């Protein structure tokens, strides 16, 4: 069972110590980086509690735990704090039993990290630019399509169902949140020229951890509208 604690703002009291046998994730429901760690928590069936942090009015105690003030941040029952999304995901996979999401060989791990570097430089930036750009986005869309084609080529060359092989691994979860948001930003047609990637997204949507970690397109759209208006409603849809 998972306890959910809701939004903690500036001036709110810090939550107590993390109960034994549980790990706490400081998260924000609509943050793609935090979603990465939630995907791994769910995929591995790790008992956890979620504390949602108001990212505009961060509580002081949260900045003491993570000076960067970013989510996801993990806290263990021993009071250890881990942050930066790929680091939190790797930690969860290494520390907890069950299905291993990271590949077994050093070379395969390096390959996934290289792919993540390549992905990180492109997809985040374009998604955000399209969101904040009310003018003509055709140039940005062309850039996004080009980047998606590069990823599509990786899949085609590997001849596998997922980026790490024929079963879902860490790299798929690390990239997924941005693909989930393509439809939210009306960018789904960008996948039309990348059939391999399109099939990959369909396979990802069948995964139980993916199903529970996301939101409906309408919920995302409503949240991003409040975000663009400068009054983000982090509780939207609860």
Report, in this order, helix, strand and coil percent for the chain, each rounded to 5: 50, 10, 40
User: Which residue from 79, 85, 59 is spatially nearest to 213, judged by alpha carbons?
Assistant: 85
Max Cα–Cα distance, the chain, nearest Å: 52
Burial grade of 151 (CB within 10 A; 0-12, 13-18, 19 or more): buried
Catalytic residue selected from 31, 89, 123, 190: 31
Q: Which two tokens stand for residue 166?
A: 């024929």
Reduced to 3 states, what is the DSSP secondary structure of residue 205?
coil
Phi, psi of 68 (to 5 degrees): -75, -20
Q: Within a 13 Å sphere around the CA of 209, how many CA atoms are in the beta-carbon half?
A: 23
Return all residues near 112 (Cβ < 8 A) that are at least 6 apart: 102, 103, 163, 164, 169, 170, 171
Is 31 an annotated catalytic residue? yes
Phi, psi of 97 (to 5 degrees): -70, -175
Catalytic residue positions? 31
């Amino acid at each position: 069972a998972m306890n959910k604690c809701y939004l903690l703002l500036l001036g709110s009291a810090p939550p107590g110590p993390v109960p034994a046998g549980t790990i706490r994730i400081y998260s924000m429901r609509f943050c793609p980086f935090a979603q990465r760690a939630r995907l791994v928590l769910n995929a591995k069936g790790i008992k956890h509690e979620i504390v949602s942090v108001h990212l505009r009015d961060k509580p002081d105690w949260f900045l003491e735990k993570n000076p960067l003030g970013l989510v996801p941040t993990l806290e263990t029952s021993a009071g250890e704090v881990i942050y930066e999304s790929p680091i939190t995901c790797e930690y969860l996979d290494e520390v907890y039993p069950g299905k291993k999401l990271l590949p077994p060989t050093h070379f395969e791990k390096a390959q996934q990290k290289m792919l993540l570097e390549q992905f990180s430089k492109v997809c985040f930036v374009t998604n955000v630019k399209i969101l904040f750009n009310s003018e003509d986005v055709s140039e940005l869309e062309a850039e996004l399509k080009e980047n998606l084609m590069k990823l599509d080529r990786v899949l085609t060359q590997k001849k596998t169902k997922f980026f790490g092989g024929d079963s879902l691994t860490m790299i798929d979860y690390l990239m997924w949140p941005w693909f989930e948001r393509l439809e939210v930003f009306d960018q789904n047609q960008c996948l039309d020229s990348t059939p391999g990637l399109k099939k990959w997204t369909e396979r990802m949507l069948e995964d139980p951890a993916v199903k529970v970690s996301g939101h409906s397109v309408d919920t995302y759209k409503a949240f991003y509208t409040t975000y663009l208006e400068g009054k983000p409603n982090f509780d939207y849809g609860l």
